Amino acid sequence: MRLRENWKPLLAVAVVLLGAGVYVGQDRWRDRCGAAADQLAPDDISTVLRTPDELAGDLADGQDDVLFPVGPELLDTLDALPAPFGDLVAGRVWDDWTDRPSVGDIDDDTIYLASGGGLIGSEYTGSVVAADVTSGNARWGVGVKGYGAGGGVVGDEFVTIGVPEDEAPQVASYDLESGDRQGCTKLGDDTESDPTLGSSTVGDGDIAVAWAAGEGGLVVRRLDPVSGDEVWENDDIDHSSVHVEVDDAGQLVVVSQVASSDPVGEGISGYGDLRGITALDADRGTVAWSWPDAGAADQATAVKVIATDPDAGRVYVLEDSITEDSTKHATAVVALDSDGQEVWRSALRSKYCEGTLWDDAVITSCPGVPLVSLDAATGEQRWETKQSKDLPGDVIRFGSGRSADLGDGTRLVMASDGLLSVDTATGEITPAITEEGLGTFVAGIDLVGDHLVLSTESGVFVLDREPG
């Protein structure tokens, strides 16, 4: 599981995802690992989510800095949503769209919310808060000044990765129950520019972190996020991209150069431009293989990891190649085994396709072809959803917070104009929420225990889950 990496330095602020470190304030502490954030007790934060009645009052006061301001009528719309959405339980609305938090689950009763501001007071430029999913009462929090980070749940810890200004990246771990910091580790040397970063959970409690070091170089380290003990480090990996992604593939740690949010072929240009993947032995850190083979490449090629299956030792990628004269793209989804050998490949219809893994099926989405299901073991097509006027013509983008598996053969999936309900056995798609009907755009969907958490431009709303 990739650790989320949506916190950015505040000079290029968007929505902050997860926090790291402890702010102290005195100059003499600035070089201490974790000296850029405050650990916050529940009494410091109070209630993060509000009741429906309180939400109605908040919406009546108006929203100044959102594209599509809404009023109390939004709550009536939410209450009228079809199954699996039930009664509105709690929520939080925002005056500024940059305050909208990212959401994740810690357990069936606890969510974390993280934002660029607005959660816990104006003195913080970023924050992450763990809260009860129904009452909204805070359990613990971290407030950050001046920078951001990414991270997620790793075993019994909440692990964050931050980049303080003019310093090296830092890994910090917090107890899931109390929020008490358990450890903090610096990665590499201090830097005046923010390094390329990627990270993933590995094994039963370690993480692997990759960061840019020097021109065209990359360092990958596996470590215990609590003690900081290094399992291995490899500082001899070529890397020409401004992006890096890290994925756990069981016996392998896979490093790629194409951002998960970008189209696979975006940015490659010219004969011989190769942006492939490198697989490291998960136990030793040595290079196991690279794909495709740079010596055999006779055209520009970019590869993006869309999913891994650690149990099967499979890596699933999108590959985009262009001819020497840059006039034609050939895009495919490819399954690789633990030795880096192709198991199967299936041609796609556009370089702008996306993909993911749903249980034992590889799912792709291309312009004009909303969804295609391929058997993950063989690559054989199971079903294809035909384009219709009721379905979005744009590519469906997958990723954390963009899809919720309801466990009954149905998934809720974000699309360009709302939320879709997908029967994973047949591919039948039913619009669940349209942005026109909602009056604001959908920004995320998460399942937390028996509740659905719907993120919109206007705020975050917790609803009971009802059987479909």
Banded pLDDT at 11 (limits 50, 70, 90) = very low
312-317 mean pLDDT: 95
Q: Is the peptide bond before 370 cis (omega within 30 degrees of 0)?
A: no
| 341 secondary structure, DSSP code | -
Q: What is the helix (H) or strand (E) element at residue 201, kind and residue range?
A: strand 197-202
CA quadruple 220, 225, 227, 228: dihedral, nearest 10: 20
Q: Decide which of 392 and 289 is more confident.
A: 289
Could you tell me the two tokens for 146? 């001046």
Rounded CA-CA distance 343/337 in Å is: 6
Alpha-carbon torsion, ordered 222, 225, 226, 228, to 10 deg: 50
Strands 217-223 and 206-212: antiparallel
Q: Which amino acid is at 446?
A: D
**pLDDT for res 133:** 95
Tell the residue number behind the tokens 């399954």, with chain if given. Answer: 335
pLDDT in tens, 418-440: 899 999 999 999 889 988 888 88
Confidence of residue 327 (pLDDT cuts 50, 70, 90): low
pLDDT at 15 over 50: no
417 pLDDT above the threshold of 90: no
Which one, of 211, 206, 200, lies nearest residue 235 by Cα?
Answer: 211
- Predicted local distance difference test score (pLDDT) of residue 20: 31
Please state, rounded to an integer, the average pLDDT across all residues of the chain: 82
- Strand, helix or coil at 102? strand
Closest by Cα among 144, 97, 154 to 121? 144
Render pLDDT for 79-113 as a digit per residue (tens, 0 to 9): 999 999 999 999 998 877 666 778 889 999 999 88
Tell me how long the chain is. 468
And the tokens for 353?
Answer: 């396709």
Tell me the three state secondary structure of residue 51.
coil
Checking if the pLDDT of 138 tops 50, the result is yes
Q: Which amino acid is at 337?
A: D
- Cα(112)–Cα(128) distance, rounded to whole angstroms? 7
pLDDT score, position 2: 67
